[in-house]
Structure 1
Amino acid sequence: MTITDTGTGTVSWNPEALAEIVSNDGGRPVLFTNARVMTMDPLIGTMTGADLLFVGPLIVGVGPSLVTAAQDDDAIVVDCAGMTIVPAVVDTVALAGGRGRRSECVATLTPGNTTDFLVVPDELAADVPSAVTTLISRPERVRALVAAGRPVLWAGTDAPGRVTAPETGVPAVPDLTGSPRLGVWIDRKDFLHQELTADGRYDETRGGRPHAYRGRFWIDGDRIDYLDDLGFWAYGEFKGDELHHAGYVMKQS
């Protein structure tokens, strides 16, 4: 099946639906219909002639006959006849039996999970690994790759307005002057003191030992990443007035 008109460069697989999804502000439901859906959920399994319904970044329904409510809900409908939908992220730990509960199997097409999925022709999806391999080895055969409800690839090419991956390399440290998260953070046992300064540097005192670890840091939302002068990376998270890092819970002094 031809998915791109090489003469005009226009997409020929559900182009109207793509335009609607790209312009959608997240409020309208989107329904991928009439597909084989390999959910990888141990309860739901694989279904044929099924639908996948999502609103913004979350899957809200999966199974047959969801299309019957598409008009009522003003859903954007994508016809997936001859296509297979699989999770875009494969939970290999779950596949190997390393998850004890369904709720731990995060990379499944289960209502309530993140809208990350891949659409490929049936003949390229004997199983989930085969479908994912298509994305790596034959991306031009991919009909859609959707991440958190937004198209990344469509008909084998970049979707309009797709998110751009971060550039490789260590980023520059922004001017943090005035940030409320600067200062000294101390854990509950008074063992770890971590100072964050406006020049993007941190300095840790551990058990009274000064300069135990020092390096650079970057704050992105509630996430903080550390690059120690010794060369290793570490991570922390701001939760309200607390900083959680490597098992420590700290508050500003």
Structure 2
Amino acid sequence: MNPTLFDEDLLKTIAAEPRRPLLFVNATVHTLDPVIGHLTGADLLLGTREIVGVGTGLHTAAEDDGAVVVDCTGLTIVPGVVENGTVAGLRRRPSDRVGTLAPGNPATFAVISGALDLEHVIWRPEQAAAIVVDGEIALVDGRRLAPTPIEPASASPADSPYLGLWIDETGFIHQELAADGRYDEARGGRPHAYQGSFWIEGDRIVYRDDLGFWAYGSFRDDVLHHAGYVFHRR
């Protein structure tokens, strides 16, 4: 277990600015997703309640995104998936099945040392370095930080209407979605900051960056929402 995963200063920062993205870096990530697979030295980026991106290279945009960085060197991140959708006793609604650690899914997972496995954490969550439920840090080194939540009772790119240049509201990010299924993103005047492939199905877009990480976004009323940014077409 890494005793400095969440020191008091880091926890205070997260509590004071709950809307800042959380970025877990340098971890071994078992996504359980058949496409993304098992990742080493990877990063996991959270929005508020969902996973925004997973893979290598995400930490290079931490400053751009204003993310709070959590160093997980030597630790493993696993999905919080057990029977009936319960996560180490921290969830109550059986219908909430967490699923894999893929972009767009709920940010619910355990951070564990190499000596622990998921089954062990399910029954002894206090032995995990941390447990995150829906993007909220629920438990750190056996100390519960959040109460148990109680819930109330693609088409091919060439055919997509969303191709073209998208620019965020500040003008900092320019993202070009091309008909060949490739995207090219400039940041702060820095060309080709990120490049990779994308897939669009309905109003959802999934990115696979050439650096190795995955991310996603959604289109609503001809506006692209991606990684906490709002883009308009130009």
Per the TM alignment, residue 88 of structure 1 is displaced from its structure 2 partner at its CA by 0.9
Amino acid at match of 2:56: P
Q: Distance in 1 between matches of 2:120 and 2:27?
A: 19
2:121 partner letter: T
Partner of 1:50: 42
Gaps of 5+ in 2: 86-96, 154-234
Structure of larger gyration radius: 1
1:131 equivalent in alignment to 2:98? no
Find the aligned partners of 2:41 and 2:50 in 1 and give their Cα distance.
21
Unaligned runs of 5+ in 1: 4-11, 94-104, 125-129, 167-219, 224-253
Alignment of 1:16-165 (within 5 A): 16-26=9-19, 28-90=20-82, 107-124=99-116, 130-137=117-124, 139-159=125-145, 162-164=146-148
TM-score, structure 1 length as denominator?
Answer: 0.50
- In the aligned structure 2, how far is the partner of 1:53 from the partner of 1:87? 14
Residue 106 of structure 1, CA deviation: 5.2
Specify the alignment match of 1:102 in structure 2: none
In the alignment, the residues of structure 2 paired with residue 30 and residue 43 of structure 1 have an alpha-carbon distance, to the nearest angstrom, of 24
SS of aligned partner of 1:67: helix
Taking only the aligned residue pairs, the percentage that are identical comes to 43
| Cα RMSD after superposing both structures | 2.5
Q: Mark the CA change 1:164 to 1:47 in structure 2 (over 3 Å): closer, same or farther.
A: closer
Cα contact 2:26–2:72 (8 A) shared by 1:
yes
The separation in 2 between residues aligned to 1:112 and 1:66, in whole angstroms, is: 16
Tell me the distance in 2 between the aligned counterparts of 1:91 and 1:39: 17
Aligned residue type for 2:111: V
Q: Label 1:47 to 1:25 Cα distance change in 2 as closer, same or farther (>3 A).
A: same
Per chain length, whose mean CA-contact separation is higher, i.e. which structure has more relative contact order (CA < 8 Å, sep 6+)?
2
TM-score (norm 2): 0.54
User: How many residues in Structure 1 have an aligned counterpart in Structure 2?
Assistant: 141
**Once superposed, which parts of structure 1, at least 4 consecutive aligned residues long, lie more than 6 Å away?**
none
